[in-house]
Amino acid sequence: MKSTNSIRSIIIASSLGTLIEWYDFFIFGSLAVVISTKFFPQGNQTVAFLSTLATFAAGFVVRPFGALFFGRLGDLIGRKYTFMVTLLLMGGSTFLIGCVPNYATIGYWAPLLVLILRLLQGLALGGEYGGAATYVAEYSPSSERGFWTSWIQITGAAGLFISLIVILITRNILGTTSFEDWGWRIPFWISIIMVIISFFIRRNMEESPVYSKIKAEGKVSKNPLKESFGNRYNFKFVLVALFGVTMGQGVVCYTGQFYALSFIGKVCGVVNQQTDSIMAIALLATTPFYIVFGGLSDKIGRKQIMMFGILLAIIAYRPIYSEIFSNTECSKKIEITEKRKTKITSFPIEGSASRLIQTTVTTSFYTDGTTMELIKKDTLLSNGIVKENKEIKKSITLNNTSYWTIVLLVFIQLLFVTMVYGPIAVFLVELFPAKIRYTSMSLPYHIGNGVFGGLLPTVATYLVTTAKSENNPEWYLNGLWYPIIIGAVCFVIGMIFLNKTNNKTED
């Protein structure tokens, strides 16, 4: 058994690399609104934003393929060397996304290049998580695995938190105009420094003692894919892990972390600085609970905690998001004053007619301290006919009460995330034999998170966008049907097929 100091050094080395990879992966999602204006044709902001989310989701969808490829390598050649390769692949792709020219410069090559790099990110992350979780679990005492592996679970939230902090600092230093012009590239560029540092730290790590033991005994799997998915007994546990746990865990995690960010900023229209800071504060406040629930799973079991977290999320999502929207809805507030600024630009068209573009910026101030800026664009012909009337952007600056209310509401749903995510790594590690563990655990995890979870921001945003109408007063809640239905199916399967004791395997 390794000493506590040794385990701590292993945790630090493993977590640092994983944290950087999550930062690299999440920075794209955190900047989705800005990126949608850079790499996609303009003219329809909703389509551009959905295209950005689809590119974001593409990185999640390919994660299972990365899990198969790198998981196989991890079981064949070892945990250490495999997740060193994934670190470099992730870091290089992230840096290059920050270098891709805008759509205005290279046209459709811009979204194509970003998509390719995003796919490479997804492949790398597909191999990273399983390696880090397996490595830490195999170094930990069996009675404390939940506690020690939960430190790896923190890295996902920490990566998102750091991405938001870097964006906030960069935006505040450069100003909104410079940041949205070119400064958004900086968070992508600086990740390469962290990747290089992490690479040298990981290079000095030793191989997992469990893997070293089975290698010395000649028990390394010759065909991890066949043994993982061709063996009916083992494949049964792959399916149980996917549909009974990781599918629900994926939608709960990405609802709490990504859909909340998109909902507050895009659906509710809260200004970027407040949206990012709300998420950052809530993420920081919930971080210790990954360890709390991971450690608690060592005492009362993994299943109870994860299933309870999924159930709470299913029940609470609609009330939580209804309250978030209510705190940002200006139509229910009392307006004090209004300032309006109009700019008209004339463009000649065929014949003697001309087209006028009238841009109106209206700033409204309310008694509770809320401010709303509404930008509208009207297209008029010279004969006075209005050809098009379109709301371009709505930005709301929250008062203190609404701001901290939303922080609390996001904190509550992130608690559900810690309940399902804190114990998931140790649950998956203990489910499969050591010689095929990297491969077997990686696939259900990345399908659950990469496919079911990764598609959530795009699907939920689409459901909200298409539901918006005067005849549907609760249109803003439509996006929640996806996580609620997927979560409910997972909860039923998990309660029926998950045993209190896992498929105990040899180490």
Per 3-state DSSP, the chain is made up of helix, strand and coil in percentages (nearest 5) of 75, 10, 15
Model pLDDT, residue 1: 47
CA distance 77 to 67: 15
Average confidence score pLDDT of the chain: 81
Model pLDDT, residue 470: 63
Express each pLDDT in 319-345 by its tens digit.
999 999 999 887 777 777 777 666 666
Model pLDDT, residue 315: 96
Regarding predicted confidence, which is higher, 236 or 416?
Answer: 416
pLDDT band, residue 391 (cuts 50/70/90): low
- pLDDT over 90 at 404, yes or no: yes
Q: Are strands 386-397 and 371-381 parallel, antiparallel or unpaired?
A: antiparallel
CA distance 436 to 237: 13
pLDDT band, residue 387 (cuts 50/70/90): low
Burial-class residue 175 by CB neighbours within 10 Å (0-12, 13-18, 19+). Answer: exposed
- pLDDT over 70 at 450, yes or no: yes
CA distance 394 to 268: 9
- Of 200-204, 270-274, 482-486, the poorest mean pLDDT is in 200-204
Count of Cβ atoms closer than 10 Å to residue 469 Cβ: 8
Model pLDDT, residue 109: 86
CA distance 170 to 160: 15
Give the pair of three-digit tokens for residue 435: 């010689």
Regarding predicted confidence, which is higher, 469 or 190?
Answer: 190
Model pLDDT, residue 356: 67
Give the pair of three-digit tokens for residue 421: 């995510």
Model pLDDT, residue 256: 92
- pLDDT over 60 at 52, yes or no: yes
The CA-based dihedral angle spanning residues 260, 266, 272, 274, taken in that order and rounded to the nearest 10 degrees: -50
82-86, 221-225, 438-442, 476-480: which is most confident: 476-480
Residues present in the chain in total: 507
- pLDDT over 60 at 386, yes or no: no
In single-letter form, the type of residue at position 323 comes to E
Model pLDDT, residue 503: 46
Mean pLDDT value of segment 101-122: 85
Mean pLDDT value of segment 139-159: 84
- pLDDT over 60 at 479, yes or no: yes
Using only C-alpha atoms, the chain has a radius of gyration, in whole angstroms, of: 24
Model pLDDT, residue 377: 73
DSSP string for residues in 239-270: HHHIIIIIHHHHHHHHIIIIIHHHIIIIIS-B
Model pLDDT, residue 380: 65
Express each pLDDT in 26-36 by its tens digit.
787 777 777 87
- Of 284-288, 305-309, 425-429, 438-442, the poorest mean pLDDT is in 438-442
Model pLDDT, residue 209: 72
CA distance 319 to 342: 39
Under CATH, which number does the domain 4-329+399-497 receive? 1.20.1250.20
pLDDT band, residue 212 (cuts 50/70/90): confident
Model pLDDT, residue 243: 94
- Region of residue 262 (phi > 0: left; psi between -120 and 50: alpha; otherwise: beta): alpha
- pLDDT over 50 at 493, yes or no: yes
Q: Where are the domains of the chain?
A: 4-329+399-497, 331-397
Mean pLDDT value of segment 51-65: 76
Model pLDDT, residue 286: 94
Model pLDDT, residue 417: 95
Q: In this prediction, what percent of the chain has a pLDDT beyond 90?
A: 22
Q: What is the pTM of this model?
A: 0.79
